[in-house]
Amino acid sequence: MKKINLIAIILLIIGGFNWGLVGVLNFNLVDFLFAKMWLDKVIYFLVGVSAVYAAFSWKKLFK
């Protein structure tokens, strides 16, 4: 597996876990850990880029 595929999957898992916490407990872990910092925006951006990457290469990711 390419490193970029592994990174994309890890970021998607982190994003999914965070959204699961928001949906079930109304708790945003990323905001809790990185509130009032620029780093939370970077994490959200990277998760979004990973989602776009996975959407266009999903067949490769799951071989």
Q: How many residues does the chain have?
A: 63
pTM for the model stands at 0.80
Q: What is the pLDDT of residue 56?
A: 87
The two three-digit tokens of residue 4, written as one number: 């970029």
Asked if the structure places residue 63 within a domain, the reply is no
Residue with tokens 């266009």, as numbered in its chain: 56
Tell me what percent of the residues of the chain surpass a pLDDT of 70. 92
Q: What is the pLDDT of residues 4-37, one digit of tens each?
A: 888 998 999 999 999 999 999 999 999 998 887 8
Number of domains in the chain: 1
Q: What is the dihedral of CA 40, 43, 45, 10, to 10 degrees?
A: -160
Q: What is the pLDDT of residue 36?
A: 74
